[in-house]
Amino acid sequence: MLYNGLPEKIPVAIVDMDNSHTSHMFISRLNALQSVDVVMTVDNFSEGRKAMQRNEVLGMLLIPEDFEQRTFDAKQPIISFYTNDAFLIPGSLLYKSFTTMSVLASAEVVQDVMLSVGLTEHRIMSLLQPITIDSCALGNPWLNYSVYLCNSFIPTILQLMVLLVTTYAIAGELKKGSVRSWLLASRGSRSVALIGKLAVYAMLFVVVGLLLQSIMYGYMRFPFHTTPYSMIVAMVLLVMASQAVVVITIALSPTLPVAYSTVSVVGVVTFSLGGFSFPVADMYVPFRLLTNLLPMRHYFLIYVNNALNGYTVYYCRYSYVVLLVFVVVAIILLPRLCSVMASYEKR
């Protein structure tokens, strides 16, 4: 879906009130940028705004009258640009492209002026940009959106599926009243029946999870700066912890519909509360605490630490521990789930 990594050729409208050589040069250079596609030239601001409201363009650049004249007279003509942040990602990409082009246009003028006052070319180059920012985007130097999105959202979808399917597997038996035949298979031991059932599903989901991991890190070559074991263990723990959440929920909820609703909410809210798009540090305190109750949050921290950044496992040790705590709590609550099962046997 996101195979380009970044949206390219974002449609843009130009309002060129100058129509001079300089403004044409400026526009054709802007159009040459990878992220910009000048799809229309309009006569005034209102027309451009209307095109924006019709979703035909996502940004607009306005070149004022007498642009060329004022540039050469050193009267500082102002270029205005408008970006639509109702679509945040293309909007901010456009902002970046527009800024770059404006700065480059300025540099060209500065270069001309400096030449005219007699500076040497070597001197001018360093004066145009005295300070460069050498940006090192660690782990994802291509700023690839796909790397960022797939690594958080695919495991979250997996977690959602584990939550829903496991609930269906346990609660379905309870509701259909097939507990007795289920227990026959385990020779009457409720906990053996439960663990056996969960183990089968766990194996299935771990296989799916590892397959997804191998597609991401093997086939699609996403950053993977760690030993495979640490991520395999993380995936196994993610699946088990998600199952643990189901066990805890069913054990504690008064009725089965409540359990279904709870796991659905947990599964869906993880997409927001996991802190993949909006950082946990900036959320309100109650939500910040709640994020700890999501297995996926801990898996995400492990992924960032190991696969993306390549730090040692030591720095995400707590995340592994917390995932284990989910499982331990579920084991503690297993007797309670067994008594829930017992109440359904009588019916």
Partner 1 sequence: MRSDKDNLLCRCRRVLAGVRYYWLREYRHVLRDAEVLVFFLLLPIAYPILYALIYNPEVVTDIPVVVVDDARTALSREIVRCFDATPAAHIVGYCANLDEARSMMMQRECYAIILFPGSFSRDIDRGEQSSIVFYTDMSLLLNYKELYMALNNVVLDIESTIRLQQMPIGLSSSITDIVANPIPYTSVVLYNPTSGIASFLIPAVLVLILQQSVVLGIAMLAGKAHEQGRGWFERRNYWTQLVGRMLCYSSIYLFNTIYLLHFIPSIFGYPQLGTLSDIMIFSLPFILSSICMAVTLSVMVREREQVYLLFVAMSVILLFLSGIAWPRYAMPAVWRWLSYIFPSTWGVEGFVQLSTMGACFSDVAQSYCHLWVLVVFYMITARVAVHYDNRAMR
211 touches 217 (CB < 8 A): no
Distance CA 126, CA 285 (A): 48
Q: Find the binding residues for partner 1 in span 279-338 (CB under 8 A).
A: 279, 281-284, 287, 300, 304-305, 308-309, 311, 315
Question: Rounded to an integer, what distance in angstroms lies between the CA atom of residue 54 and that of residue 34?
Answer: 23
With CB under 8 A as the contact rule, the residue among 34, 69, 214, 272 that binds partner 1 is 272
Q: Does 117 bind partner 1 (CB under 8 A)?
A: yes
For residue 331, CA distances in Å to 194, 248, 263, 337 come to 11, 9, 18, 10
> Counting contacts by CB under 8 A, is residue 260 touching partner 1?
yes
Alpha helices for 253-294 (secondary structure H): 256-273, 285-290
251 is a site residue for partner 1 (CB under 8 A)? no
Give, rounded to a whole angstrom, the gap between the first and last alpha carbons of the chain.
Answer: 49
**Of the candidates 10, 12, 202, 296, which one interacts with partner 1 according to CB under 8 A?**
10
Nearest-angstrom CA–CA distance, 31 and 45: 19
Written as six digits, the tokens of 275 are: 């802190």
Q: Which of residues 138-177 bind partner 1 (CB under 8 A)?
A: 138-140, 143, 145, 148, 153, 157, 160-161, 164-165, 167-168, 171-172, 175
Give the residue, chosen from 21, 121, 134, 285, that forms a contact with partner 1 under the rule CB under 8 A. Answer: 134
Rounded alpha-carbon distances, angstroms, from residue 101 to 18, 20, 97, 247? 17, 17, 6, 57
> Can you tell me which of 53, 69, 214, 292 binds partner 1, judged by CB under 8 A?
53
Choices 69-77, 225-233, 325-333, 337-345 (CB under 8 A): range interacting with partner 1:
69-77
Q: Which is nearer to partner 1, 3 or 187 (CB)?
A: 3
Regarding 192 and contact with partner 1 (CB under 8 A), the answer is: no
Closest approach, Cβ 57 to partner 1, in A, equals 11
Work out which of 200, 227, 278, 339 binds partner 1, going by CB under 8 A.
278
Place of tokens 């001197």: 123
- Within 33-52, the residues that bind partner 1 by CB under 8 A are 49-50, 52
Point out which span in 13-21, 128-136, 178-186, 204-212 binds partner 1 (CB under 8 A). Answer: 128-136
| Element (DSSP H or E) covering residue 11 | strand 10-16
Q: Which lies closer to partner 1 via its Cβ, residue 37 or residue 329?
A: 37
Kindly give the pairing relationship between strand 36-42 and strand 10-16: parallel
Quote the Cα angle for 163-168-171, to 5°: 115
d(CA 31, CA 227): 44
Q: Binding of partner 1 at residue 31 (CB under 8 A)?
A: no
Candidate residues 21, 132, 187, 285; the one interacting with partner 1 per rule CB under 8 A = 132
CB-wise, 21 or 135, nearer to partner 1?
135
CB of 252: closest distance to partner 1 in angstroms? 18
Give min distance, CB of 207 to partner 1, in A: 19
Nearest-10 Cα torsion for 257, 284, 235, 242: -20
Q: Decide: is 271 part of the binding site for partner 1 (CB under 8 A).
A: yes
Q: Are 259 and 169 in contact (CB under 8 A)?
A: no
Residues written for the chain? 347
Applying CB under 8 A, among 25, 32, 88, 185 the residue interacting with partner 1 is 88
Contact 194, 218 (CB under 8 A): no
76 near partner 1, rule: CB under 8 A: yes
Residue type, 81: F
